Structure formats: structure tokens, C-alpha cells
Structure 1
């Protein structure tokens, strides 16, 4: 494994860029025609890097109209997240959902209720996906581009691909996407194709070099040598003069040739790199380039010029609401290694919590309904005296058939949702933590019946977000969205400890 310091030695130092500089550039471009980024988030964990933005789990025109109005009336940064959950869908379903969302967003943008002072909204579209490269690529940006063209006549020149998530140890250097080592391996870089994530049953891949990943996933439609690579020499072009404008020009110049959805890959190692990229993209769009974005979680924060929000305290998590005396509900569905280690640490440290395991084999059997009834009864009774940890059995049932793997995943997720929803209606918990992407999506939209929420900020620096439901039966209950593949072994316990009254 190469050392990060050695890989970075070939490139300039980062350019120091305040978030305010990006925010000012965005505001200037929005003066005549306000722009909102619509973030199609393929699982809800994309919100972990932002704060004080609206989140939708439904996407009717009226939902977008609410979000656009909420942004304007509260003077928020101009972005809204839409929880698509498409990583849990098959390709045809994912395509249909992306198309519907884009059409409805564009329709809402044309409503006077969605415009500021009578000015029509411009929409930018972000396809937010996994920082370890799992998801429906290039399907989702393809569908977004095609729908925008069909609805507006506007062709997409380039698709900017930025999977980096430095907060969680994912960085792109020299066009290669890496995972940072931890513990004894701190300071090292592992190409992401050599990690467990590349072996995903539904979205596996073989290439860590992003241009070759694009060629692999597009089945040769985009050859590796046709991909524009914005390496750190370009992103940090202003380093010698300490001038962000030089970087912005270099980025915009490099994108100039993009046409017909040309893939554009960007190196990112630090927050300053995100901000340099944002200024360059702003300049490219000012010149007339039409861009879509396929990105990891922190991109939007950098693109809109939002400061990094400090982690929320337990007191801040309950601000404006009176916490229940009931126990909290921690729901764990992800099966990646870090989640299993976090679950082990939580159960070892939180001796007062009741542990309820959902046996996946029983869910797939003939007596699933009766088994679910028993599980709900156990959870409800246990919440009366303390926290409850509900987790699926750690034995992952896999098949060689991607569609069958998704079917099993859906069956398990449906059971988790049923447990959460029936518990909520019977004895509302003090808080809810959902661990895992598909798990947290389904728990939000169906288990807690959240339609509109505000992401308040992170519970851990940059990686775990707190949503405040603004409607439905979960209103007033802090909801914590916790990706399966982030944090160290103690992170789940750390978040639970902040919220619990028995830990």
C-alpha cells in the first residue's frame, strides 16, 4: 500500500480558500436567476456533510414547491436533498424514479411559489452516490441528462464525477480513488478496487483508476482516454501564487472541450480542493457549460460554499423539543465489516440496552408474520425501561444473482421498517438511529413516515447526520442517519451515548 505523503509529493500544496468566497460566487451567479441544486440521493447518508437544508422523501411537485419556498423564506443555502433510495432498486426502477423526480422538480421550479420575487428558478442536478463507487452509474446521470434535455431542450456537456469523501477516508489523487488506512495502517492508501466494497453483490467493480472505472461501468461507451481528469495539478494550479482565481480558470479551461455528457473526474484530498473545484465549476458554467454531478457526500457542501458544521451535542440534538423518557431505538441493517465491529462495541459498552436480533432466515421462512409480531412486542416492552438495539443477523445471505440479492435485501428491509413503524405507533422512542444506507432510507420514509425534514448537522465530524422531521408521527424525534461504511469501531457507541438517558 502506498503512503499518502509519497503520492501527494508529486503535486502542489492545497490553495487556502474560505467557504465565503465560494458562497459569494454562487450568490453572484444567482442574482439575476436564482439557482437551486436538486440532490438525488441514492441513500440518505449523503446528507451527512451538510447542515440546515431541506430533505424530501417524496417528490411530488408540491413537495419541491415546499422545499424551494422553505429555502427562500429561511434564507438557506440553495440545495435540497431528495431521498431516492435507488441503490436498493433494479436498474429499470432506478431509471424511472430519477426521471420522475427530475420532471417534478422542473415543474415546481416553474411555479411562482417556487420562485423568488417572481424570478424563475434555475435547477442544477446532482446525482449523489457512494464514495466507494457502488451505485447505478452511468445509468442515473444518463437518465437525468436525458430528462433535462426532453423537458428543457438543454443538452448536458459534462458529467463531473467526484466520489471523494475525505472525512471518511476516501480521496482521489492522480485520477485514482483510494481508501485511507486506519489504526496500524494510518498514512497508507488502498486503491478502492482492493477493498470489500468492490466485491459488492450488486455493484462490484474492478478498477480504482477513475477513467478506467468509467470505461468499465459504461461498457466502453466512454473510453478511458476520453475522460477529462482534473488532477491536483489543475485543482491546485493557484498554489504558487496563493490565488484561487488561477485554479478556477485552470479548471474551467480543462472542461472547455466537454460535450455530450463527457465524463470529468476530479482529484480531491481536502476541503480546500472541493472549494477550488466549486469555483472552477462556477466559472465553467458562467462560460456556458451545462454540467451534471455524480458525487460523494461532501461535494454539495463545497459547491454551495457552506462552512463545515461542528458536530452537534446531545443538547443541540433535542433543541426545541422535549425528549421522551422512553428508551432510544438503534436499528442496524448494514453488513459491512465496520458496521459489525461498531455493533459489537456498542453491545459490549451499553450493558443496559436490550438486544433484539432479527433472524433473516426466519424472515425468509413460512412463519415470518408471527415472528415479526413477537419481535415488535419485545421491542416495545423493552423501550419502556431503556434503549433497544435491533439488528439483523450478521450472517449475510448472498447469491450469485444480483436481482435475488436485492430481493433478499428488500425483504429484510421491509421487516425492519415494519418493526420501527409499529413500534412508533405503539410507544414512540426517545430517538432513532438507523445504521446502513438502505436501512436508514426505508426507516425514514416508511418506518417513521417522514415526508419533509431538515438536516440539522452532523453528530460526528462530517459523517453522521441528524434529521429533524417536520411532519408526520415522528415529528420531534431526532433521527440519526448513519452510513454503513463510515466511522471507527466506537462511532456508533459515541453517537448513542450523546442521545441516551441510560447509557
Structure 2
């Protein structure tokens, strides 16, 4: 494969300051409070390919199950949006397609029963990894089965807080040295979802293997957004037909609010879109604005309220579990599966801050059937002993060995990732079945998804906000063995080097 990356004329060589990138652009356009108009629009259903899409929002429901009953529960909540965790980024291509089909078919039944109109958002990675165009193609096909023709596919990967912005259709990311085109990042070399282009028009052509050419991709620029406002953006949207993709510039939440308002208005006039976006668009299209990070005082209130609900068995999804006899311990459980360089640096800073005991799941040992089970049992036993020793003063970190093991191709790499993740969350399941940690934090997209579903048995939850500005979600499980235990979803590719240590420090002061 040719690994050279073509450079767009609008991409300067080397990192650039964000001020240089945005120099000469029109000023931001403030469209004011859009909540009422957003509320009047279709319910936003976010199909999240890993749990980290909730990083931009607060107080929205999250489902890890897509039964008609669960979807009806979410549709009944008085919110503008809800999430369905698909975890498709960790699946094989055929399985990812089938999962999307299952969800849309169940959602269509639930929405008809509840009489709630909806719009579908396929939440992908802000560094462009994931199953595009597969997922938007499937959603378009499934809507077509219900008699709904999709006019356009909106592509908006911006994630404002960590510095992933799109300017002149080129997607950029912030690094310590400055802004770089995203194709120059380590994420573009992902073993399963790598790519070569930062210009989203070229990226669409690349990912569709030429089925959709660059010239067929419509654009919404910062000039359209900031000078033309919702009217200009709505005009562009109204001209889309036949599922045509449109790539959207965004460098600030204000840009996304303009686009969201235009979408709601276009949809009110009968247009239908499928969205493929990063986390920040979800916030704007939900009618929310950025909220302060959760501090120790607010976390204590959330935990206390969840504990009271847990004691009362208040949630309607409660299955009548027997009295909980697990001992509550004063320390937390941190599981780390992500292998990106940023995660390794964050783990180093947490290690330097102290107050942790580390246990390692050795990947080659896990991949050997002869040693897999004994290795897992040993790590679980040691972790349980450490958590029960409240006098130890240390949180327990269970991490995979830091040497990345990949397969011969993308499919093999996914199989290895699934095997390792299954082992990691298996330790969580065993531990939470024996003790109640003061918190559980999962680092990495696949890791945090599997920890939620397989490790903690979460089916319904509320995403309450973020532990850092715009990143790192706090979930409040609504039922099951994790109810009353704060669950922190921490993506592998966000935050400063100190972010993990900072979040753990907040958790410790609850």
C-alpha cells in the first residue's frame, strides 16, 4: 500500500498555531438561545460506536441495549436526545452492519409506538477512525425500508475541546507543537481504520473507494456559517438529494449551533439527513452548551443521590436483585486498555502522582490458550485482595502490557483487540461481583464500552457530565450491579498528559 499522504494546498507543512489557522476568518455568529427550537425538532438518537461520544453532554440517557422496551424507555424521557452504545468500532465489518440494522429496526418500532419522530446520528471518532461509509450507508438503507429517503449525509467530525477542528474542509488536530492535519497523526496509522487524507472531501473519496468522488461532496464553510448564518446553511442543506455527503467546517461551538439550527429548520420543511459526527456536534444538536467540569462536591452529590436510589430500588429497570452483600471499599478500580502514546504518558503521570498499585495483564500470555485462564485468575485474586485492604491507601490499576500486538491485517488486529478487551473486562466483572469499588474508570474506547456492558452489566444509564472541560464522561448506572458506583468513560485519545491523574485526584476527594 502506498503510505504517502497527499497534501492539500491549504495544508501548510509542519504544525501551525491555531491563530494562524483561523486568521482572516469571519467572526463568530451568535444565534442566541436555540433550546426551544431544538426541542421542537426530531428526537436525536445517537448511535455511538464507542462510549466516548457522551463526553460533550450532560444529563442524557445512555442505552447499551436496543430492545424495543429499552428504546421506548429512552424515548419517554423528557430530553432532546439519547445515546445507544453500539460499540461497532470493535466489531468486524459484517457484524457492525448487522448491529446498526438491528438498532434501527427496533428504534422504528419503538418510535411508532411512542409516536416520536427521530433523526439518526452515527457518532464516529473525531480523528476519523471507524466504519465510514458502512454505517451511514446502512442507516440510509434502513430508513429507506421505512419509506424515508435520505437527502444528505452530514459529516462533521469536529471536537472542540481537544482541538479537532475543520477549516476549508481540512480536519486538524491540536498537538503540543501546534495544529497538524489529522492524517499526520498517529491515529491515521490505526491498524484497522487508517487513512491518508485530511481534506474531508478526499477522505470521503478514499473511504468510499472512489464511489463518491471529491467533486460530489458538498461543503459548508466557515464563511457560509459565520456570514450567511442559518439561512445560508439551510439553503445548502435544502439542495441536497440522494444521500449526498456534505462536509462541515467548525472551529467553535458557535459554528455548530448555527448548523444545528439550520438542520432543524430544514428537517421541519421535510428534509431528512443522517449525521456522521464527532462529539461536539451532539451537544449543539441536543440544544446544550458546555457545562463546567464535575468537581468533587458535585460528584459527591451525584453519588449520594445514586446511593439513595440504590437503597430504595427506585429505578423502573430494576430486576429485583437480592440484597447486596458486597462490601463497599474506599478505593477505586482503574482499567487501562488503550495503547496510544497519549494514554501511556497519562499512565506515567498517574504513576508519578502515587496512590496506585498496578497489575498487568500480559497480552502474549492472554493470547495463549494454555496460559490464559490461570493468568486471569491470578490477576483477579490479587486485585480483590488489594481492594479489600482499605488501609492500603491505593487505587488498583489493571492494565494491559504496553507493547502493542497487532495481527497480519485489520481483521486480525480487531480479533486480538477483542480478546484482550474480553480478558480485561472479565477481571472487572469478577471484581465487581465481589466488592463495590468507590469508582470504576475505564481508559480506551473499546475498553470503556466492554467495561460498561460486560464488566458492569450496565443496560441503562445517565451521562451526568464531564470530569474535565468537554472530555471524560461520568455515567450514573440506572440499574444492575453497578448502580451507585460512578463510572468514568475516558477515551484513549483525549486530554493532556496530566488528565488521568487530575481525574483520579477528583475522584479521591469525593
Q: Tell me the TM-score normalized by structure 2.
A: 0.90
**In the alignment, is residue 178 of structure 1 matched against residue 172 of structure 2?**
yes
Tell me how large the CA RMSD over aligned residues is.
1.4
Alignment-derived partner of residue 241 in structure 1: none
List aligned pairs for 1:153-172, cutoff 5 A.
153-172=147-166
Work out whether 1:372 is the aligned partner of 2:376. yes
SS state of the match for residue 168, structure 1?
A: coil
1:10 shift after superposition: 3.5
Which residues in structure 2 correspond to 1:403-442 (within 5 Å)?
403-442=411-450
Map 1:261-276 onto structure 2 (within 5 A): 261-276=243-258
Q: 2:37 aligns with which of 9, 25, 36?
A: 25
Looking at structure 2, the residues matched to 429 and 178 of structure 1 have their Cα atoms a distance apart, in angstroms, of 39
Cα distance, 1:322 vs structure 2: 5.1
Matched, 1:329 2:337: no
> How far, CA to CA, are the matches of 1:407 and 1:224 in structure 2?
33
Stretches of structure 2 that go unaligned for 5 or more consecutive residues are: 1-14, 309-327
Corresponding position of 1:5: 19
TM superposition shift of 1:191: 0.3
Q: 1:294: Cα distance to partner?
A: 0.1
SS in 2 for 1:293: strand
Distance in 2 (CA, whole Å) between partners of 1:287 and 1:319 is: 45
2:32 corresponds to 1:48 = no
Aligned to 1:81: 83
What is the distance in 1 between the residues matched to 2:189 and 2:164? 17
Report the CA distance shift for 1:377/1:488 in structure 2 as closer, same or farther (over 3 A).
Answer: same
**Residue of structure 2 aligned with 1:320, choices 297, 300, 305:** 305
Aligned length: 469
Gaps of 5+ in 1: 115-119, 238-245
Aligned runs of 1:90-489 on 2, under 5 Å? 90-111=92-113, 114=114, 120-150=115-145, 152-182=146-176, 185=177, 188-237=178-227, 246-317=228-299, 318-321=303-306, 324-350=328-354, 352-365=355-368, 366-384=370-388, 385=390, 386-489=394-497
Aligned equivalents of 2:112 and 2:169: distance in 1?
39
* Whole-angstrom CA distance in 2 between matches of 1:343 and 1:390: 11
Decide whether the 8 Å contact of 2:38 with 2:80 is kept in 1.
no
**CA shift at 1:326, angstroms?**
2.8
Measure the CA separation in 2 of the matches of 1:359 and 1:348: 22
8 Å Cα contact 1:43/1:87 also seen in 2 = yes
Larger mean CA deviation between 301-310 and 91-100 belongs to: 301-310
User: TM-score of the superposition, structure 1-length normalised?
Assistant: 0.91
TM superposition shift of 1:207: 0.2
1:191-228 deviations in Å (ceiling 9; x for gaps) = 00000000000000000000000000011111101111
The residue number in structure 1 matching 2:313 is none
Q: SS in structure 1 opposite 2:415?
A: helix
Partners in 1 of 2:506 and 2:306 — Cα distance? 16
2:169–2:247 Cα contact (<8 Å) kept: yes
